[in-house]
């Protein structure tokens, strides 16, 4: 019970594996944008008393392993993180400076699964995602064409 947190009248251990994608599954989560999103997600989660335990930004989706206190609904925290991060992206990387309510950067919806005894399996899965994505991209490459020049 060393991972159990507590509020005034309750002890809890609520951990979730959450996945969401950018709008139209655009592969925009690399480079300059990728370096800033991890810290942005951690800060936004902290504002909702949640903790990002593990995370990975793949080219076209985000994996987050997060601990959320029971006084917040998962939908509330995910909506907050997605909404505020979209505004942050638009202000920082776009030309929108103020009075901006958000851009449709993230697609609607998300996948969520509770994490219980298989916590280590979920952590390893998230950590392996980038290698697996690279492997799948390699399978999509057209086969090499070997050109044989006949000698006279």
Sorted by where each begins, the domain ranges of the chain are 5-140
The matching CATH number, chosen from 3.30.70.1290, 3.40.1370.10, 2.40.340.10, 3.30.1370.100, for 5-140 is: 3.30.70.1290
Q: Indicate the pTM of the whole model.
A: 0.75
With a cut of 70, say whether residue 30 has pLDDT above it: no
Q: What are the catalytic residues?
A: 125
Alpha helices in 48-118 (DSSP H): 74-93
Q: How confident is the model at residue 87 (pLDDT cuts 50, 70, 90)?
A: confident
What is the 3 state secondary structure string of 9-65? CCEECCEEEEEECEHHHCCCCCCHHHHHHHHHHHHHHHHCCCEEEEEEECCCCEEEE
Q: What percent of the chain has pLDDT over 90?
A: 31
* Average pLDDT along the chain: 80
């Amino acid at each position: 019970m060393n991972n159990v947190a507590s509020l005034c009248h309750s002890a809890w251990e609520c951990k979730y594996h959450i996945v969401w994608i950018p709008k139209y599954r655009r592969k925009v989560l690399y480079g300059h944008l990728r370096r800033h999103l991890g810290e942005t997600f951690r800060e936004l989660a902290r504002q909702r008393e949640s903790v990002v335990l593990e995370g990975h930004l793949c080219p076209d989706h985000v994996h987050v392993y997060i601990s959320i206190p029971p006084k917040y609904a998962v939908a509330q925290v995910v909506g907050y993180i997605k909404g505020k991060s979209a505004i942050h992206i638009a202000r920082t990387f776009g030309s929108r400076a103020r009075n901006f309510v958000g851009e449709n950067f993230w697609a609607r919806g998300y996948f969520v699964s509770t994490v219980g005894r298989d916590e280590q399996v979920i952590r390893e899965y998230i950590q392996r995602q980038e290698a697996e994505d690279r492997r799948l991209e390699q399978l999509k490459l057209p086969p090499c064409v070997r050109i044989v020049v006949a000698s006279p």
